Amino acid sequence: MKLFVILFACALAISSSFAYDPSPLQDICVAIAEPKNAVFVNGKFCKNPNLTVADDFLYQGLNMPGDTNNKLGSKVTPVTVDQIPGLNTLGISAARIDFAPYGLNPPHTHPRGTEFLIVVEGELYVGFVLSNQLGNRLITKVLKPGDVFVFPIGMIHFQLNVGKSNAVAFAGLSSQNPGVITIANAVFGAKPPINPDVLTKAFQVDKKAIDYLQSQFWYDNN
């Protein structure tokens, strides 16, 4: 019996070393008892391979500039599995980011993907903030055309056009659906609103400041 227990423990340890949970491909995926009531799996349902066509793997128009006529002066054009169905299960996506002069892609995170950014026009001041364990240290750089910068998965990051002309960058991300959480929108534009008592204590300001921020229209440039 003792030998059996030892062998079982060894087998369990070995098998568990090869087992893992799949990475989430959307914000939430709640288990359901009745499959007939299910909406989708972790990701997207797969099309019959015999029925696939070239357009399943195609997105057109990324050469067209996005509309930056908004409060932020920027526009993100995503190319994820929602735009290219053929990206399903492949673990990659892309985006084009257009900036008006002094336009900002505000502090945000991608909960499911690392991002690398390639500047093709203009100059961008970019950065990301490390975790609490590393003292929330800010890593920044001014990028010029041809420069490539990486934003690690989950880190709060931003891009600001510091030039007097338009700027353009392209991004690649390590998920078919990396997700976006814009910090200001999530904290002050949550629906329903976060209790002001939480935010006044978190930000160490009075309720009037929180009421003002929660009353604003938080534009989403995605």
pLDDT digits (tens, 9 = 90+) for 137-184: 999 999 999 999 999 999 999 999 999 999 999 999 999 999 999 999
Please enumerate, by residue number, every residue annotated as part of a binding site for Mn(2+): 108, 110, 115, 157
pLDDT of 46: 84
Q: Which of 39-43, 110-114, 157-161 has the lowest mean pLDDT?
A: 39-43
For residue 6, pLDDT over 60 is answered with no
pLDDT in tens, 197-208: 999 999 999 999
For residue 28, pLDDT over 80 is answered with no
For residue 37, pLDDT over 50 is answered with yes
Residue 149: its H or E element? strand 148-151
Q: What is the mean pLDDT of residues 196-219?
A: 93
Share of residues in the chain with pLDDT > 90 (%): 72
222: confidence class by pLDDT, cuts 50, 70, 90: confident
For residue 9, pLDDT over 70 is answered with no
According to DSSP, the residues that pair with 114 across neighbouring strands are: none
Please enumerate, by residue number, every residue annotated as part of a binding site for oxalate: 105, 110, 115
CB 162 within 8 A of CB 127: no
For residue 34, pLDDT over 70 is answered with no
Query: Tokens 């056009």 correspond to what residue?
Result: 161
List the domains of the chain with CATH numbers.
Answer: 16-179 (2.60.120.10), 182-221 (no CATH)
Residue 191 structure tokens: 């629906």
pLDDT of 4: 46
Q: Where are the alpha helices (DSSP H) in the chain?
A: 2-18, 183-188, 196-203, 207-215
Helix (H, G, I), strand (E, B) or coil at 213: helix
Please enumerate, by residue number, every residue annotated as part of a binding site: 105, 108, 110, 115, 157
Q: Which of 1-15, 77-91, 111-125 has the lowest mean pLDDT?
A: 1-15
Q: What is the mean pLDDT of residues 124-149?
A: 97
pTM value? Answer: 0.85
